[in-house]
């Protein structure tokens, strides 16, 4: 089993991809097609999300286990503390280990039903992501990552406290972090500077920027609302200029993501983490534009 951290320490930037458990058979076929599309490109890892309150727990385990066992991809499963006792969390982590998964992304998680609602800890559970990190690291040889927020977590009172929470997770044993989606390189760079100023060793604890190529107007608006991400006026104007034409919106999404990634790579990021929405086309187009998908055309794929 390969640890994610071992794939992030090379002399060239890497990329990784994220998926969510599909709701039906058609969605599952789409997911596996995307996985097979990415497999020849050798991403550093492929992660699978975990629904609010553990709603998709079994599907996350099944899909991540299949990735680990039936593909050449390095698999990473998400894990959240919502609605789980410590006993249940131990069982979930044990199940991941039995499925051959050694990489976990430890998240406190969003409240079920309303991601922006009040977060209430399980009475026999853990309160913070750093507690979840400690639990996972205590149960075996797991490589554990955590979330980071370039524009601060929606519940953080300010940037300084937000960085303290992130550094606490790293000191609890997290080995890398992945950021929430963002569109302004400066937000990521300021986060990186704050983390370094707080005493974290940026050479050994990589922070991967999270990139979501825009595929639909409605989709990016929804994701931005849920994550607290700002869509810059310049990006809104570019989207408004093409209206609701699907191919044109996807092309703008590829252009915006490529420009952001080019700036980040120039600033020395260790890799790029793509929120794929279970499709491969736009992410592959960005990778081709960046020269990170050898032999693939730079044109937008239509799915």
- Give the residue numbers marked as catalytic: 18
Report the alpha-carbon angle 136-152-154, nearest 5: 90
Cα separation, 211 vs 283, in Å, equals 9
Residue with tokens 């890892």: 45
Closest CA relative to residue 64, chosen from 42, 107, 93: 93
What are phi and psi for residue 91, nearest 5 degrees? -65, -45
Question: What DSSP letter does each residue of 193-249 carry, written as one string?
Answer: HHHHHTT--TTTS-EEEEE-----HHHHHHHHHHHT----HHHHHHHHHHTT-HHHH
Cα separation, 131 vs 144, in Å, equals 12
Contact 101, 68 (CB under 8 A): yes
């Amino acid at each position: 089993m390969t640890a994610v951290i071992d794939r992030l320490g090379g002399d060239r930037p890497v990329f990784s991809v994220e998926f969510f458990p599909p709701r039906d058979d058609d969605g599952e076929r789409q997911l596996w097609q995307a996985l097979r599309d990415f497999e020849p490109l050798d991403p550093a890892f492929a992660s699978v999300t975990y629904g609010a309150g553990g709603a998709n727990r079994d599907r996350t385990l099944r899909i991540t286990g299949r990735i680990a066992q039936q593909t050449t991809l390095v698999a990473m499963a998400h894990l959240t503390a919502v609605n789980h006792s410590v006993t249940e969390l131990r069982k979930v982590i044990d199940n991941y280990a039995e499925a051959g998964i050694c990489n976990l992304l430890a998240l406190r998680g969003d409240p079920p039903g309303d991601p922006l609602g009040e977060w209430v800890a399980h009475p026999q559970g853990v309160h913070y992501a750093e507690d979840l990190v400690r639990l996972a690291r205590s149960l075996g040889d797991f490589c554990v990552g955590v979330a980071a927020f370039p524009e601060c977590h929606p519940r953080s009172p300010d940037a300084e406290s937000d960085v303290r929470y992130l550094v606490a997770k790293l000191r609890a044993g997290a080995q890398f972090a992945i950021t929430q989606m963002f569109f302004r390189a400066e937000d990521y760079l300021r986060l990186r500077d704050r983390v370094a100023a707080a005493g974290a060793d940026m050479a050994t604890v990589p922070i991967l920027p999270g990139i979501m190529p825009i595929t639909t107007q409605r989709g990016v608006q929804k994701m931005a609302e849920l994550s607290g991400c700002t869509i810059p006026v310049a990006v809104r104007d570019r989207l408004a200029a093409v209206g609701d034409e699907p191919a044109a919106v996807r092309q703008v999404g590829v252009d915006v993501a490529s420009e952001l990634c080019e700036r980040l790579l120039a600033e020395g990021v260790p890799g790029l983490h793509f929120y794929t929405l279970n499709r491969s086309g736009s992410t592959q187009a960005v990778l081709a534009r960046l020269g990170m998908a050898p032999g693939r055309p730079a044109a937008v794929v239509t799915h």
